[in-house]
Amino acid sequence: MVIRRLLSRDMAAEPTDLDDIRDQARRWLDDDPDPATRDELRAVLDRLPASAPELADRFAGPLTFGTAGLRGPLRAGPNGMNLAVVTQAAAGLVGWLAAEGATGPLVIGYDARHGSREFAERTARVATGAGRPALLLPRPLPTPVLAYAVRLLDAAAGVMVTASHNPPQDNGYKVYLGAQLGGALGAGAQIVPPADAGISAAIRAVGPLAEVPLGPAGERLGDDLVASYVQRAAAVVDPAWPRDLKVAYTPLHGVGAAVLTAAFAHAGFAVPGVVAEQAEPNPDFPTVSFPNPEEPGAVDLLVALAEQTGADLAIANDPDADRCAVAVRDGASGGWRMLRGDEVGVLLADHLMRRGVTGLYATTIVSSSLLRSMCAARGLPYDETLTGFKWIVRAGGGSAPLVFGYEEALGYCVAPDHVRDKDGITAALTVAELAAGLKAQGRTLTDRLDELAAEFGVHHTDQLSVRVDDLRIIADAMARVRAATPTTLLGQPVTEARDLLPASDVVVLRSDAARVVIRPSGTEPKLKAYLEVVEPVADGDVPAARQRAATALTALRAEIATALGV
């Protein structure tokens, strides 16, 4: 789990051991290879004692390297993303790869955030300095292209420098393993234990950065790699399927536009109209307050373009294009609404099933239980994992080949042999294929959702999400729900209460008609409760069942907020 380390207000207000922290800062300055961050840290030291809380936060501890790699604010000090932290991480990673006997190159990708190119190039020089070939992607590109390259090039590992949909002031460092160390299920997938612990230990063992050898810049890969990804991505859709569809699209100032539009054209679709204000990569994300398509207001420009152009479908990628958000016209109101991740997930799964794609379908414990019901009814293998695609792509333990996986946070894997991770490009293509097929029949995505509801019941999902400045609030809430676990949900007895500690900080509650999963976020200082209500459809009246489910979910949200004390 990667959570940015935050000091509580009390700790920040009353810094202790100031002399010790000052000494740590001076030692850091002596080892920092970047003049810019050295100047930044000197300015903080010059403002002491007024800057003591800030200095204490920067040296509260190193960013934690876990299964999601590193992620944190761009700033000097060990509790931030900077050239020193990246140099140490890269040296630890290549040292661990050598100790594990992995052969082959290190493939490195990066997005367009502040510092991404510099961090990628430093990683390449650390790799070549250790005698390992380094292959850099040709330019800022989507995360799925890096994951694809790890498999295609039979790399020992891959590094993607990105903070995905985090705020502009953040950056991150994700690690993927090749087949030698990842095995058949983890080839081109993000790391899982014990690899994370091994790499973390190797990072801690790195000595002075001045002693880390730096080699040449590595090999810059050509556009043929990107063309190969696009060709394989376009192949996920059926060439015989209808293609008459008008799509509006935004990359949210990220790196997805060129690759997605090329993939659509290669697959035979009309090139989507792109939101002009958000078409080019911009690390400041000037038109959105938070570059995440799930956040309020993030897709307002997209919806406006879809309305203006008469689009059939509106699609957004997050800035590194591994997630895919979908908006559709609401038949009742005439306006546009974002589909929930669970809605897109079951639509994609249903579409693949109807295309005859057999194999394992998987999702996570926080996603809707509808996929489980669909697989049971259709005789297909199903598995449920902890959150994160590092687990989804390893679902089933190899008992059946994975053919589809999704998580409710807008992540979808429709072609695991192409990219063994979430992929917002191929997900967008598959949604477009489904929408075009339905359009040819005079139907829509919402019509298909209603048909699934009539068959399996309304599965209404939502989140209770609480952002905090003090991580103790999250710890206290988790302790509270464990000490006084609810025995009923919506007046019905809890039939299952599972605490997943120590494997994962998760509490699961189920009744006959409701499910609640409570956990801290893995990437942000948030407490999350994932809520689901299942409401049967009587006499084919789906709207009435949806209304009952919405009312019940509002009540469930209030119950869980009370239980958590938030």
What does the alpha-carbon distance between residue 557 and residue 531 come to, in Å, rounded to a whole number?
7
Domain shared by 391 and 440, yes or no: yes
Q: What's the order of all strands across the beta sheet hosting 411-413?
A: 382-385, 360-364, 402-407, 411-413
Q: What is the dihedral of CA 205, 199, 161, 402, to 10 degrees?
A: 180
Residue 2, in any domain of the structure: no
Percent of the chain with pLDDT over 70: 97
Q: Which domain holds residue 126?
A: 9-224
Residue 316, in any domain of the structure: yes
Domain shared by 405 and 502, yes or no: no
Residue 230, in any domain of the structure: no
Where does a domain end: 412, 434, 453? 453
8 A C-beta contact, residue 362 and residue 382: yes
pLDDT at residue number 16: 52
Domain shared by 476 and 430, yes or no: no
Domain shared by 272 and 335, yes or no: yes
pLDDT at residue number 533: 97
Domain shared by 501 and 388, yes or no: no
Question: Tokens standing for 504?
Answer: 């994962």
Domain shared by 40 and 146, yes or no: yes
DSSP code string of 110-139: E-SSTTHHHHHHHHHHHHHHTT--EEE-SS
Q: Average pLDDT for residues 282-299, to the nearest whole number?
A: 95
Which residues 6+ apart lie within 8 Å of 358 measured at CB?
Answer: 380, 403
Beta strand pairing call for 106-110 and 157-161:
parallel
Domain shared by 92 and 180, yes or no: yes
Which residue is it, tokens 């697989």? 375
Residue 353 corresponds to which amino acid? M
Domain shared by 443 and 468, yes or no: no
What does the alpha-carbon distance between residue 428 and residue 413 come to, in Å, rounded to a whole number?
11
pLDDT at residue number 5: 33
| DSSP code of residue 74 | B
Which residues 6+ apart lie within 8 Å of 17 measured at CB?
Answer: none
Residues pairing with 507 in the sheet: 499, 518
pLDDT in tens, 171-225: 999 999 999 999 999 999 999 999 999 999 999 999 999 999 999 999 999 999 9
Where does a domain end: 453, 476, 493? 453
Residue 135, in any domain of the structure: yes
pLDDT at residue number 6: 31
What does the alpha-carbon distance between residue 281 and residue 319 come to, in Å, rounded to a whole number?
8
Residue 495, in any domain of the structure: yes
Which residue is it, tokens 């989140």? 463
pLDDT in tens, 335-381: 999 999 999 999 999 999 999 999 999 999 999 999 999 999 999 99
What does the alpha-carbon distance between residue 352 and residue 280 come to, in Å, rounded to a whole number?
32
Which residue is it, tokens 């801690």? 204
Domains in the chain: how many in total? 3
Domain shared by 343 and 434, yes or no: yes
Domain shared by 424 and 546, yes or no: no
Burial 452-466 (b: 16+ CB within 10 A, else e): bbeebbbbbbbbbeb
What does the alpha-carbon distance between residue 389 and residue 545 come to, in Å, rounded to a whole number?
32
Nearest to 514 by CA among 537, 486, 491, 534: 534
Domain shared by 161 and 259, yes or no: no
| DSSP code of residue 278 | G
Domain shared by 462 and 373, yes or no: no
Residues in the chain, total: 566
pTM (predicted TM-score):
0.93
Is the Cα dihedral 541, 547, 552, 557 positive or negative? positive
User: How would residue 9 be classed by pLDDT, with cut points 50, 70 and 90?
Assistant: very low
Which residue is it, tokens 């398509």? 293
Residue 232, in any domain of the structure: no
Where does a domain end: 453, 475, 506? 453
8 A C-beta contact, residue 508 and residue 365: yes
Residue 236, in any domain of the structure: no
pLDDT in tens, 100-158: 999 999 999 999 999 999 999 999 999 999 999 999 999 999 999 999 999 999 999 99
Q: Give the SS3 label for residue 174.
A: strand
Active-site residue set: 164
| Burial class of residue 442, CB neighbours in 10 A (0-12, 13-18, 19+) | exposed
For 83, 166, 235, 355, 436, the CA distances from 433, given in Å and listed in that order, are: 43, 30, 12, 11, 5
Query: Given a cut of 90, is residue 447 above it in pLDDT?
Result: yes
Residue 183, in any domain of the structure: yes
Residue 551: CATH number of its domain: 3.30.310.50
Q: What is the dihedral of CA 153, 159, 165, 171, to 10 degrees?
A: -150
Nearest to 227 by CA among 152, 131, 283, 320: 152
pLDDT at residue number 68: 82
pLDDT in tens, 67-97: 789 999 999 999 999 999 999 999 999 999 9
Residue 390: CATH number of its domain: 3.40.120.10
Chain CA centroid to CA 103, Å: 28
